[in-house]
Amino acid sequence: MKLAVIALLIVSLVLTSSFLQSAVAYDEPSSCDSKCAVRCGKAGIAKRCLTYCGICCNKCNCVPSGNYGNKSECPCYRDMLNSKGKSKCP
């Protein structure tokens, strides 16, 4: 009986840790790449959009939904400015 309880606890810990790892994986570069691919999907200059979106995502760990707008979802992303005082993030 004790062995079954111990085995159940170990399985629970493994499942919980794998769930938490996938939930925290948002800030990985591959996640930024996929989020920025959606964000820049309709951009006229896609390469530049992807570059700046990646910079912003890596710093803020957030990319607004959709192709344009919705920057209020990510205040850090919204508030990053370039040297000319304009929004850095697409």
> What is the pTM assigned to this prediction?
0.65
Q: Is 63 left (phi over 0), alpha (psi -120 to 50) or beta?
A: beta
Please check whether residue 53 is in contact with residue 45, taking contact to mean a CB–CB distance below 8 angstroms: no
How many Cα atoms sit within 13 Å of 81 on the Cβ side?
5
How far apart, in whole angstroms, are the C-alpha atoms of residue 76 and residue 89?
A: 10
**Residue pLDDT tens, the chain, 90 long:** 776 666 555 666 665 554 444 333 344 557 999 999 999 999 999 999 999 999 999 999 999 999 999 999 999 999 999 999 999 999
Domain limits, the chain: 29-89
